[in-house]
Structure 1
Amino acid sequence: MSIQDIIEGKKQWRAHVARVKALPPDYRIVYKEMQKYLFKVGPNDLPDGPLLPGILDFFEEGVAEGKGVLELIGTDVAAFCDDLVKDSPARADVHRASIGAESGADER
C-alpha cells in the first residue's frame, strides 16, 4: 500500500464521517451503535468494504423519505446487523480458524 493509497483512504473516511455527522440525531446514534457492533463482529473488510457506505446511503434515503430510523431497521439493531453480515466471514470466524490451525500444527 502506497502513501497515496493511505492518503486517499483517509480522505474517503473523512468524507464518510462528514456524511454521518449530517444525519439527524436519531439516525446518527443508531449508525454509531451499528458501527461499533459491526467492528466487533462484522466482516473483515469492514473499514474498506461497501457495508458502512451502503448503510449510510440507506439511512440518507430514509431521511429523504421522512421515515424514522426504527421504521427502516426495526427495534433490534443487532439482529439487523447480523442479517446484513450473515454470509460474510467475520473476524471471530477468522480467529477461530487460526486457532484451529495452530492447534492442528501442535498435534503433529
Structure 2
Amino acid sequence: MGIHDIIEGKKQWRAHQARVKALPPDYQIVYKEMQKYFFKVGPVDLTDGDLLSGIVDFFEEGVAAGKGVLELIGTDVAAFCDGLIKDSRTYADIYQESLSTKKGPVEK
C-alpha cells in the first residue's frame, strides 16, 4: 500500500463520515453504536467491504421516507447488526478456531 492509497482511503473515510453527520441525530447515534459493534466483533473484511456505506445508504433512504431509525432496524440494534454479518467470518470466529486448535493440558 503506497502513500497515494493511504491518502485516497482517508478521503473516502472523511466523505463517509460527512454523510453520517448529515443524518438526523437519532440516526447518527444508532450508526455510531453499530459502527462500534462492528469494529469490536464484526466481519474480518469490514474495511474492504461496503457494509458501513450500505448502512448509510439505507439510513438515507429511511430519512427520505420520513421514518425513524428504530422503525427501520427495530429496537435490538445488536440483533440487526448480527443479521447483517451472519454469513461473514468474524474475529470471534477466528478466536474460537484458535482455541479449538490449541491442545489443552494433558490429563492424568
**Same fold, TM-score > 0.5, yes or no:** yes
The equivalences for 1:76-87 within 5 A come to 76-87=76-87
The equivalences for 1:21-100 within 5 A come to 21-100=21-100
Greater Cα shift, 89-98 or 31-40: 89-98
Distance 2:70 2:90 in 1: 25
Shift of 1:98: 3.4
Indicate the structure with greater helix content: 1
TM-score, length of structure 2 as denominator length: 0.89
Identity of matched residues, %:
76
1:36-56 Cα deviation digits (max 9, x unpaired): 011111101112311000000
CA RMSD after TM alignment: 1.4
Distance 2:14 2:48 in 1: 13
Q: Stretches of 4+ moved more than 4 A in 1?
A: none
Distance 1:23 1:84 in 2: 21
Distance 2:11 2:45 in 1: 18
Q: How many aligned residue pairs are there? A: 104
Distance 1:8 1:15 in 2: 11
Which runs of 5 or more residues in structure 2 are unaligned? 104-108
1:74-106 Cα deviation digits (max 9, x unpaired): 0000000000000000011122323444x25xx
Distance 1:3 1:51 in 2: 25
